Amino acid sequence: MNATDFHLYIDSADIAQIEACLPHPVVHGVTTNPTLLRRAGVARAAVPGLLARCIERGARQVQAQVCSAEADGMLEDALDLLRHFDHGQLVVKIPATRQGLQAGAHLIAQGVPVTWTAVYALEQAHFAAQLGAAYAAPYLGRLDDSGVDGLARIAQMQALVAQAPAPRTRLLVASVRSRDAYLALLQLGVGAITIPPQLFDALMDHSATLEAERGFLADAAAC
């Protein structure tokens, strides 16, 4: 992978917030999880419709999470979600548990893109790369909250993922709370970041640029 392979996701289940960011050429897709869905008041049965609307608005991929703790239930959840989408549009998110690794490996063998999420340990990132995941998702802010140097831990994960003989697993870093954190992750070379809509606004709208634009428009109008 090279710099042009970077994937930026919007992390939200609030359709109004999502549609304020889409369509935009820098946005690859939308990530969700059960917590975001609960906060947005989106029922489980409404998830496919929400994600289909994201694709209609320009998302190239969307991500939804299974809601079972056992591998068989995870696979049932995944198949129920996948039937609503064309191949490759939906990435199935699965917690990086013992059961989750089993279920995800089965899906990958069937050609389904998988994100192992809630990745906190180095070996979890290694297993994700070893098994051919599309993404492994560590949480920067939550790592910091737990007393770990989150950026250092993610740098170690990135090094492990990059060591794979044919690297195809991107770290998809979540729980990114500031522009500085986003830029620091880019410096590490991570392959994907998912951010809340509010941070997207901070990355897009720079006061000095907007002020310069106002000056240019005023001068253009005076010509």
Active site residues: 93
Tokens for 42, please give them.
């989106």
Please provide the distance, in angstroms rounded to a whole number, between the alpha carbons at the two ends of the chain: 47
C-beta neighbour count of 130 within 10 angstroms: 15
CA distance linking residue 205 with residue 210, whole number of Å: 7
Residue 163: CB partners within 8 Å, gap ≥ 6? 129
C-beta neighbour count of 177 within 10 angstroms: 14
**Phi/psi at 31 (nearest 5 deg)?**
-110, 145
Angle at CA of residue 169, ends 164 and 174, nearest 5°: 130
Closest Cα partner for 20 from 34, 10, 35? 10
Radius of gyration of the chain (CA): 18
Residue 72: CB partners within 8 Å, gap ≥ 6? 103
**Phi/psi at 193 (nearest 5 deg)?**
-140, 140
Angle at CA of residue 137, ends 132 and 138, nearest 5°: 130
